[in-house]
Structure 1
């Protein structure tokens, strides 16, 4: 009888580690949401939209949070009743709407996004080099998942048209952000940048080759 190949032991252990960290993150989310009088999905929507003042279509929010369109419709309705969110016609598509936070929703979403976390406290215990290495690993994992279609497009530095990898070789901050016209280091890389503008796919591929090389 054939058996599916088992992942290498270190890969299995890394996955187990992520699962355990995710449990703590989920518990932190439940706690912060409960204190705000929300359920976890409502809290996630507020935190997501707090970083996107232009708003998102409901289907985009659902994709980011990996929930069904029907479930997201219920969540958005609940947030509207709480006066934390409003849905307005999408100027680009008369059949669609854009969900945006009210001032109160934006304030609460910002507080939820920066709420105290046991995982954040644990990360703070890592050295500066360990933090930078972990961030680099996250960038690579997220980009791979994005390319596989497992997660929606993310606003990563490495996919942005403003990012110049290793533009300052040998310097403490080797990369360059053309948007702010400043050198940046590995610790400055963003996983979700509000100024992100997606580069052409061919440019993204060349940027990634230069970044990882």
Structure 2
């Protein structure tokens, strides 16, 4: 007998299967919303994601190699998307003074306008989330962070900049604590994408 969360008999009797299928439905919603946004702007979904990434991430992370890791894609695939965005005049590249083969990417004025317009493509998902109580949100966040951490440990998700995978993070009987900020963290202050993240070695 095949063990699958999509088997209705299994799904209807196991909460683990229901959660997995619910997450699959949510991932489908993200795909649909991203695809709709890309069609509106005559760009591919990954090109939209690259523009949004360049809008919010620090300059040192805006390189082909980082984009490949971030989106779990090969460098040639990312390079093709970057080449198209350069041709469309949505991004620029600046050579590294220390390594002529390397360069950072940045948005042009028109690229920034496009990225700002596309950055809230998830609003349809945010709306029902905002209607949850604070307790429901904290429980959901706790569960999702633990799932993400497990996927990261298994090597399925390669880039994670959340507190649980950071060398500055500590947990004790008193709760969550950031050594870098030198302060305790309420659960709502736990970060998923921290610019000061230092991966545990």
TM bin (shorter chain)? 0.7 to 0.9
Instruction: Tell whether the 8 Å contact from 2:52 to 2:115 is kept in structure 1 after alignment.
Output: yes
Q: Deviation digits for residues 16-74 of structure 1, max 9, x if unmatched?
A: 11111111111111222333342211111112222322133323312322333332222
* 1:26 match: 31
Q: Does 1:72 align with 2:78?
A: yes
Q: Does 1:145 align with 2:151?
A: yes
SS state of the match for residue 104, structure 2?
Answer: strand
* 2:186 match: 185
Give the whole-Å Cα distance in 2 for the aligned partners of 1:148 and 1:90. Answer: 34
Identify the match of residue 165 of structure 2 among 152, 159, 163: 159
TM-score, normalising length: structure 1: 0.76
Give the whole-Å Cα distance in 2 for the aligned partners of 1:103 and 1:69. Answer: 25
SS state of the match for residue 149, structure 1?
Answer: coil
* 1:48 match: 53
Give the whole-Å Cα distance in 1 for the aligned partners of 2:36 and 2:44. Answer: 10
Instruction: Tell whether the 8 Å contact from 2:30 to 2:122 is kept in structure 1 after alignment.
Output: no
Deviation at 1:178, TM superposition (A): 4.2
Give the whole-Å Cα distance in 2 for the aligned partners of 1:142 and 1:90. Answer: 33
Identify the match of residue 136 of structure 2 among 121, 130, 134: 130
Aligned length: 193
Give the whole-Å Cα distance in 1 for the aligned partners of 2:118 and 2:139. Answer: 26
Change (3 A) 1:116 1:11: closer
TM-score, normalising length: structure 2: 0.79
Deviation at 1:119, TM superposition (A): 1.5
Q: Mind listing any 5+ residue stretches in structure 2 that lack a counterpart?
A: none
Instruction: Tell whether the 8 Å contact from 1:25 to 1:117 is kept in structure 2 after alignment.
Output: no
SS state of the match for residue 102, structure 2?
Answer: strand
Q: Which moved more, 1:107-116 or 1:75-84?
A: 107-116
* 2:124 match: 118
SS state of the match for residue 126, structure 1?
Answer: coil
Q: Which moved more, 1:126-135 or 1:154-163?
A: 154-163
Instruction: Tell whether the 8 Å contact from 2:169 to 2:178 is kept in structure 1 after alignment.
Output: yes
Instruction: Tell whether the 8 Å contact from 1:47 to 1:109 is kept in structure 2 after alignment.
Output: yes
Give the whole-Å Cα distance in 1 for the aligned partners of 2:141 and 2:95. Answer: 38
Could you say what the CA RMSD is over the residues aligned between the two structures, in angstroms? Answer: 2.7
Change (3 A) 1:178 1:36: farther
* 1:204 match: none
Q: Mind listing any 5+ residue stretches in structure 1 that lack a counterpart?
A: 202-213
Q: Which moved more, 1:145-154 or 1:29-38?
A: 29-38
Change (3 A) 1:34 1:166: farther
